[in-house]
Amino acid sequence: MGRIFIAGREKELPPDIKVTTFRDPGGFSFYERIDPFVSRVHTDPDGNQTEHVSTRRAEGFTPVLGGGGWEAGDPDGRDPMRALRQVVHAIVIHHDAAMSSADCFRILLQRGFSTHFMIDEDGHIYQAADAADETVHCSGMNRVAVGIDMNNPAPNFVNETKQEMAGRSISPVVEINGTQYQSYNYTEPQYKSLIALLEVLCTELNIERACPVDESGK
């Protein structure tokens, strides 16, 4: 049965959804170690160091890396979900432009970025950080958002030769910012896993099931 971790607690996904987490052998992890939790550190060419994973900052909340933490005034002292629901209100879905989720993880490590989840071509979900922790995936939104990277190599077939990949259909030609594109679609297993993952995240973190809109409603 598939499961993910939010604030150190297991949350179940449907049994037909394959999940490998940072706690599993062979899983991808943005932590250097997990007992106790310590983030991997990225060093840029100038020698500056940044952590791939950090604790989220919520008022009245004492965070613990990999475990959520606890909220001031909580009678049991160990219910991190209430504080998390106050600060986490969005899910950002990324197009990874990589050949696989393993390739995506490697690129993120090299560039000093990170994410919570990656969904491979076959629908396999990889969790590389606890959803309660903050990752480096979306400037200005890291504190309040969970990150999901959907695998898709994203060639532009308008300008490149088609190279068929098993399980992927080809999109229609579309125009984005004046440039025409045609690429691979996501796969049905990816959509199935994404829907299952979103359902759990939205339920557990009380995230509204709606796309963000501006003041005009667009």
Q: What is the pLDDT of residues 1-52, one digit of tens each?
A: 689 999 888 999 999 999 999 999 999 999 999 888 999 999 989 999 999 9
Per-residue pLDDT at 161 exceeds 90:
no
Query: Per residue in 60-76, pLDDT tens?
Result: 677 788 877 766 666 55
Asked if residue 119 lies in contact with residue 101, where contact means CB atoms within 8 angstroms, the answer is yes
CA distance 83 to 96: 30
Q: Which residues of 75-84 are buried (b: 16+ CB within 10 A; e: fewer)?
A: eeeeebbebb
Asked if residue 71 lies in contact with residue 80, where contact means CB atoms within 8 angstroms, the answer is yes
Query: Within a 10 A sphere around the Cβ of 17, how many other Cβ atoms?
Result: 23
pLDDT, averaged across the chain: 89
Tell me the mean pLDDT in the region 195-204: 97
Tell me which DSSP letter residue 88 carries. Answer: -
Tell me the mean pLDDT in the region 174-189: 91
- Phi (first) and psi of residue 152, to 5 degrees: -170, 120
If pLDDT is split at 50, 70 and 90, which confidence band does 56 have? confident
Using DSSP, state whether 32 is helix, strand or coil.
Answer: strand
Per-residue pLDDT at 155 exceeds 90:
no
Per-residue pLDDT at 200 exceeds 70:
yes
Per-residue pLDDT at 203 exceeds 90:
yes
Tell me the mean pLDDT in the region 144-171: 86
If pLDDT is split at 50, 70 and 90, which confidence band does 218 have? confident
Q: What is the pTM of this model?
A: 0.90
Picking from 24, 13, 20, 1, the residue whose alpha carbon sits closest to that of residue 192 is 13
User: Domains of the chain (ranges plus CATH)?
Assistant: 3-159+167-205 (3.40.80)
